[in-house]
Amino acid sequence: MRFYSLPPREVEWPYLMVNPVSYKELYRRRFIHAIVDCGVEFFNANPGAVDYPQDFLNRWKAKGVYLTSLFHDKVWITIPDYPDDYHPGQGSISKTIKNIEEFLKVKDVNWLPSIQARYLDELSLYESIQDTKAAVDGCPRLALGTVCKTNDRRFIIRSAKALRSHFPGKWLHAFGVTRDVIRPLDGVFDSCDSMAWTYPRNHGGHSCKTKDERISYFMEYVKEVVFE
Q: What is the DSSP letter of 105?
A: T
Question: Of 162, 159, 168, nearest to 176 (Cα)?
Answer: 159
Quick one: pLDDT at residue 44?
73
Name, in order, each residue with C-beta under 8 angstroms of 49's C-beta and a sequence gap of 6 or more: 42, 43, 90
Where residue 226 falls among pLDDT bands split at 50, 70, 90? low
CATH topology of domain 2-222: TIM Barrel (3.20.20)
pLDDT in tens, 95-150: 999 999 999 999 999 999 999 988 878 999 999 999 999 999 999 999 998 887 67
Which pTM does this prediction carry? 0.93
Where residue 227 falls among pLDDT bands split at 50, 70, 90? low
